[in-house]
Structure 1
């Protein structure tokens, strides 16, 4: 068990408007490489924010400030044992490759509520984008600027 040190925001890196299911993510992350997956023992995210704003739990979490072994997800290499990861569906333009903030109004509202609730419970734990931990475009928007827009100063 480790102390929770950050909430990491992600995108599924899928084209704008294309829904992704929990089953899709489980396939991508946990199926063997021979079956098109990554062969991980666990998915990369605790929760997914769907296009309609519905938040779906992918991995059980007791919502405390500890990361128990059974709560660890594979969202950002080198940071997983001390992070919680949440993903929104989208993050890529219709061409399937250009990073783009594709959050729907419902996703923005759900993400704001999610992050504000997290920040209320854990005000000293920073919220970051995956791109702040690795050389990636994910989550395809500037998390720190967005946090200021919604009134969170960390």
Structure 2
């Protein structure tokens, strides 16, 4: 058990407008990668619906049963959220901010809730701790645009 320090934002790296389900993620992570757990706690679908992928108790600690496989080296101190999308519909090799208005609103609400529950939590993009394009947008810039306090932005 360790203190919760980060909320890591991810994208599914699927083409814009393509919906992703809980079962898709379970299949990709458990069957496809052979992981024992999915990589994220929650999924934001295209219409802004929040889907729980892995249980957590919302206290200030990450218990062993709450650990997900979102970012190697950070899993025991982080919670992970993912949105459907993140790459161009025409070329899946091109990272693109494909978040719908509903996804942006849901993600903002989620982040604000996490900050209320965990006032010292840092919000980061997966690309800040891994050599990846995920989540396909500049998390720090967006957080500033929506008025998140600097204490909660970045590493």
Q: Give the superposed CA RMSD.
A: 0.6
Q: Which runs of 4+ in 1 moved over 6 A?
A: none
Distance 2:137 2:16 in 1: 14
Tell me, which stretches of 5 or more residues in structure 1 are unaligned?
Answer: 32-36
What TM-score, normalized to structure 2?
0.94
Give a deviation string over 1:88-138, Cα, whole Å, max 9, x none. 000000122200000000000000000011112212110000000011110
Q: Secondary structure at the match of 2:131?
A: coil
Q: What pairs up with 1:130-141 in 2 under 5 angstroms?
A: 130-141=126-137
Q: For 1:144, what is the secondary structure of its paired residue?
A: helix
State which of 107, 124, 130 in structure 2 corresponds to 1:128. Answer: 124
**What is the aligned counterpart of 1:145 among 131, 141, 147?**
141
**CA deviation string 1:35-76 (max 9, x = no partner):** xx0000000000000001000100011111100111100000
Quote the residue 2:94 is aligned against: 98
SS at match of 1:48: strand
**Distance in 2 separating the partners of 1:57 and 1:79:** 20
TM, length-normalised to structure 1: 0.95
Counterparts in 2 of 1:60-139, with a 5 A limit? Answer: 60-94=55-89, 95-139=91-135
